[in-house]
């Protein structure tokens, strides 16, 4: 019997691309104030540079603009991006799914990697505490405990007072979201979101999800079928 469903956050419950656009908007506004650049054009160019290569996007923009810069200036842009209060929202299938699961007395949780301030700001904007019984940001445990480390899964199992085989984990990243199945008998579901940032990652040791879905409310059927 399934007693808990735990979710990844980025590209599972929210769009990572939406978050990126929100962050680039803030960076573009800052650069507009500093250099007089057009905000929309700057944001568009940042997204284009990201599409070309995800590394050193801010450096490459300033180089392209022939701006002489030092590392502290890049770090300031990174800080603006990571620490901004984002304009994001849950995917449209999230709240209805959570409501049904809650009505079935299923415990709901989140285990998410990422920088502490970044993830906290996302969760704050989403008002996630209204919907979830437990939320673990692995950065708060230490970088060594980012997924696929089993510690956050052990913590949430203990908090929910359930067995590992009574838990479902729903994620999108092949590299780290499903390997836990090798360690504990947690049920795993991969959601295939359009434009998922990490959807093309390789599976860790080829450990794959038990089930694939295209929309989150399919989790309800999975839980019903597992009972």
Residue pLDDT tens, the chain, 227 long: 999 999 999 999 999 999 999 999 999 999 999 999 999 999 999 999 999 999 999 999 999 999 999 999 999 999 999 999 999 999 999 999 999 999 999 999 999 999 999 999 999 999 999 999 999 999 999 999 999 999 999 999 999 999 999 999 999 999 999 999 999 999 999 999 988 888 889 999 999 999 999 999 999 999 998 75
Give the domain-ending residue among 65, 83, 101: 83
Give the domain-ending residue among 83, 110, 134: 83
* Residue 139 near residue 111 (C-beta atoms within 8 A): no
Q: Are residues 61 and 159 in the same domain?
A: no
Predicted confidence at residue 48, as pLDDT, reads 98
Q: Which domain holds residue 25?
A: 17-83
User: Helices (H), strands (E): how many in the chain?
Assistant: 9, 6
Give the domain-ending residue among 32, 59, 83: 83
> Strands 134-137, 167-171: parallel, antiparallel or unpaired by DSSP?
unpaired
Integer Cα distance of 140 and 110 in angstroms: 14
Residues 6+ apart with CB under 8 A from 144: none
Give me the half-sphere count of Cα atoms (radius 13 Å) on the Cβ side of residue 37: 23
Q: Are residues 56 and 70 in the same domain?
A: yes
- Answer whether the bond into residue 206 is a cis peptide, omega within 30°: no
DSSP annotation of 131 reads T
Q: Which CATH number belongs to the domain containing residue 37 in this structure?
A: 1.10.150
Predicted confidence at residue 153, as pLDDT, reads 98
Q: What is the pTM of this model?
A: 0.94
Residue-wise pLDDT for 98-157, tens only, equals: 999 999 999 999 999 999 999 999 999 999 999 999 999 999 999 999 999 999 999 999
**Can you tell me whether residue 36 is helix, strand or coil?**
coil
Q: Which CATH number belongs to the domain containing residue 216 in this structure?
A: 3.40.50.1000
Predicted confidence at residue 227, as pLDDT, reads 55
Run of H or E including 160: helix 151-160
Q: Are residues 71 and 175 in the same domain?
A: no
Give me the half-sphere count of Cα atoms (radius 13 Å) on the Cβ side of residue 119: 18
């Amino acid at each position: 019997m399934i007693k808990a469903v735990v979710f990844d956050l980025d590209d599972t419950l929210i769009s990572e691309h939406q978050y990126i656009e929100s962050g680039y908007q803030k960076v573009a506004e800052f650069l507009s104030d500093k250099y007089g650049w057009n905000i929309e054009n700057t944001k568009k160019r940042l997204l284009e540079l990201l599409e070309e290569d995800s590394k050193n996007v801010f450096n490459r923009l300033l180089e392209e603009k022939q701006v002489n810069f030092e590392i502290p200036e890049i770090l300031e842009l990174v800080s603006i991006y990571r620490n901004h209060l984002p304009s994001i929202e849950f995917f449209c299938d999230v709240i209805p799914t959570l409501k049904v699961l809650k009505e079935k007395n299923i415990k709901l949780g989140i285990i998410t990697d990422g920088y502490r301030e970044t993830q906290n700001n996302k969760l704050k904007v989403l008002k996630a505490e209204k919907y979830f019984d437990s939320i673990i940001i692995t950065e708060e445990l230490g970088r060594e405990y980012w997924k696929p480390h089993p510690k956050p899964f052990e913590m949430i199992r203990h908090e929910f007072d359930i067995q590992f085989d009574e838990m479902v984990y729903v994620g999108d990243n092949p590299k780290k979201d499903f390997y836990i199945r090798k360690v504990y008998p947690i049920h795993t579901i991969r959601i295939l979101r359009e434009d998922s940032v990490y959807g093309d990652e390789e599976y860790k040791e080829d450990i794959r999800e038990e089930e694939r879905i295209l929309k989150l409310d399919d989790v309800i059927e999975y839980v019903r079928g597992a009972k």
